[in-house]
Amino acid sequence: MTDARNYGLSDAAAVAALVEGRHGDPFSLLGPHTVDGRRVVRTLQPGALGVELIDTSGRPVAELRRVHDGGLFAGFAPDASAYRLRVRWSAASHDTHDPYAFGTLLADDDLARMADGTHVELFRVLGAHPITLDGVHGVRFAVWAPNAQRVSVVGDFDSWDGRRHPMRKRVPSGVWELFVPGLLAGARYKYEIWGADGSLTQRADPVALAAELPPATGSIVADPTAFHWTDAEWLRKRGALHHAGSPLSIYELHAGSWLRGKNNEELHWDDIGERLIPYVAGMGFTHIELLPISEHPFGGSWGYQPLGQFAPTSRFGTPEAFARFVDRCHEAGVGVIVDWVPAHFPTDIHGLAHFDGTPLYEHADPREGFHQDWNTLIFNLGRNEVSGFLVASALAWLERFHVDGLRVDAVASMLYRDYSRKHGEWVPNKYGGRENLESIDFLRRVNQLVAERHPDCMTIAEESTAWPGVTQRVEQGGLGFTFKWNMGWMHDSLDFMTHDPIHRRWHHGEMTFSMVYAYSEKFVLPLSHDEVVHGKRSLLGRMPGDEWQKFANLRAYYGFMWGHPGKKLLFTGGEIAQPREWNHDAQIAWELLDHPLHLGVQKLVRDLNKLYASTPALHAWDSDPRGFRWVIGDDAEQSVFAWLRMADGGRTVLVVSNMTPTPRHGFRLGVPEGGRWREALNSDAAEYGGSGMGNEGERHAQAVHAHGFEQSLVLSLPPLSTVMFVAD
């Protein structure tokens, strides 16, 4: 072994730290350096038998000497020309460019914008990117870990040995970077981090664009080839489909359980799309909403505990396959909404928790940083880099994958510091209040950037409180969401429907109260996955009565929902009246469609969607109080509800729900117009599995005063039904 001091390595402690994987500045020792006017090259190759320098043609020009038994080699280069390394191992040798011969990689402007949280295309800077540098092909790695003592990129290419590829730290940004020559897309990798607390962990890339198939936890260098999109026509027109007056009907689903393979395996995007897209389009839904598809370690979280904020889960294929799925949806005229989770993340050791040996992404104080309900960590949105990380994630889904909207999960938990906490378990804001000012700023910024960069896209809030201005524009003091889930309507109406009809008179207000606040926000009426799990029973299972009554109740409820102001959302399985709760490990019980009652519900949902989309009165003034008027809202004794839906230039619609099993003949209702009223939909129709009672397809108004109108209709109200009439 040659004396290391001959090659400018006089600091024995530094050499020892390098070979032991503890040195925080590998570029100060490795690569080309000038020593006493001569060019010396040093390389760390643990386990190698020898190393020599070769020129660009492969001709040996110098033998490097072993200067430490840990695999440190050094030698003098004959000139300043380009060189490569030829490393000899016991069974083979390989030629490679020296990673430590390259200069800094990331632009100062990129690092500055990342530090102040304004870099909206962060995935183009951090993470792993195949590039060509000085004519050399390889992969550029970059990761934010400001408090780490050392960071290395590890993978199959270096036997997962953190000594082989330690990275350069860019001060003051705290970003570590390294170019690894010869590496290609598809390579597996992680970052090995020697934390500020002395911990040594291997972490998945927070900004990875692709990931290994769970339960493996590594990241994958994504294919840089740009996807060839064919959805220009959809993108051109989609803005007209996403405003408050549009007929928005959303089919919510879990990609892993909508349909499964012969052996109950999860299908890939191409297979899912082959069956799902024509089904959704044929059912008249305008959009699908995917439960979170960001990479997540535990399938049982349904994606709500994500770690890969930029990577679609590999469970269903590559990022390219997901892009192809979205493209096919758009070709069929179906929009795509993805569930996005910026509120919290799991504690898995390969993830973001204590990332650099400090609470980096999360709050240090568990009263702010730990979510007791979900056993997860809460993002520290007051930190520029963390806020910017999530903002960039939101925009990446819209820009990389052309998705049409983001449903933002658990907004209520973000808005309140005392969310699900007792007195003394939370930290007030700087004014002593419970509002989470940092989260409010973050949500406003996300929504404002989406509105500026993609005004034709939607953001939808899952927000369960009375927070004001959720869908009000940011410049007007609101949070800036396009729509908000109406959780109040969902809970109240489901509670009403659960009661036996004989008791519904005592709960009448649960069906009418929503109209008190219907125009305070722009609402989506959700019957979501959360309502068919954890012992809540399926929607059909909640309905009272015998088999026929259960189905009739459900059909009447759907009619009530589609007639009520607000956009529509139905979780998969609801459209076929699945009797069991949703199980994420099994597909929807499609065999039920052999049963006429289940098939009837499916036909009803299809026809409701078609009527809703083709009838402006049912959607155009969803957010305008001029679009609604009660005809009967107080008939608790008979559990009858009747109202009008209207729109500028559209035909008026009369919606009537009879929520008892008692048929009501000769039922007079006032209407604003004379002439013929067509029975456009009857949930009790025989084709839906009902009794077939109705109004012979139409009724003509009589000049008899009723309910404040000069004209009225005499109707037959079927048992447990909703009937819609359209004025001619």
pLDDT digits (tens, 9 = 90+) for 90-126: 989 999 999 999 999 999 999 999 999 999 999 999 9
Distance CA 192, CA 200 (A): 7
Question: Is 136 in contact with 183 (CB distance < 8 Å)?
Answer: no
Question: Is 54 in contact with 98 (CB distance < 8 Å)?
Answer: no
Rg, C-alpha atoms of the chain: 31
| pLDDT computed for residue 1 by the predictor | 65
State the pTM of this model: 0.95
> Which residues make Cβ contacts (< 8 Å) with residue 186, sequence separation at least 6?
220, 221, 223
- Asked if residue 2 has pLDDT above 70, the reply is yes
| pLDDT computed for residue 234 by the predictor | 98
Per the document, the length of the chain is: 728
At 360, is the secondary structure helix, strand, or coil? coil
| pLDDT computed for residue 91 by the predictor | 87
Q: Which residues pair with 136 in a beta bridge?
A: 133
Distance CA 617, CA 632 (A): 18
- Asked if residue 384 has pLDDT above 70, the reply is yes
Q: What average pLDDT does this structure show over 303-315?
A: 95
Question: Is 392 in contact with 110 (CB distance < 8 Å)?
Answer: no
Q: For residues 192, 193, 194 and 196, what is the CA-based torsion angle, rounded to 10 degrees?
A: -170
> Which residues make Cβ contacts (< 8 Å) with residue 112, sequence separation at least 6?
173
Question: Which structure tokens are listed for 379?
Answer: 């993002």
Q: Assign 10 a pLDDT band (cuts: 50, 70, 90).
A: confident
Q: What average pLDDT does this structure show over 207-234?
A: 96
| Average pLDDT taken over every residue of the chain | 96
DSSP annotation of 310 reads E
**Which CA distances in Å does 137 have to 32, 46, 97, 99, 184?**
20, 24, 10, 11, 8
Distance CA 650, CA 727 (A): 10
- Asked if residue 4 has pLDDT above 80, the reply is no
> What are the pLDDT digits (tens) for 233-277?
999 999 999 999 999 999 999 999 999 998 999 999 999 999 999
| pLDDT computed for residue 481 by the predictor | 98
At 482, is the secondary structure helix, strand, or coil? coil
- Asked if residue 153 has pLDDT above 80, the reply is yes
**Which CA distances in Å does 178 have to 25, 27, 190, 193?**
12, 10, 13, 14
> Which residues make Cβ contacts (< 8 Å) with residue 654, sequence separation at least 6?
631, 642, 643, 644, 669, 671, 677, 713, 724, 725, 726, 727
| pLDDT computed for residue 371 by the predictor | 93
- Asked if residue 363 has pLDDT above 80, the reply is yes
| Residue 479 CA, distance from chain mean position | 19
Q: Report the interhelical angle of 319-331 vs 384-401 (nearest 10°).
A: 50
Distance CA 492, CA 517 (A): 13
Q: Assign 7 a pLDDT band (cuts: 50, 70, 90).
A: confident
Question: Is 126 in contact with 144 (CB distance < 8 Å)?
Answer: yes
Which amino acid, 514? S
| pLDDT computed for residue 352 by the predictor | 98
User: Residue 577's closest CA among 614, 612, 611, 605?
Assistant: 605
Residues annotated as catalytic are 409, 462
> What are the pLDDT digits (tens) for 611-635?
999 999 999 999 999 999 999 999 9
Q: For residue 611, which phi and psi values (nearest 5 degrees)?
A: -65, -40
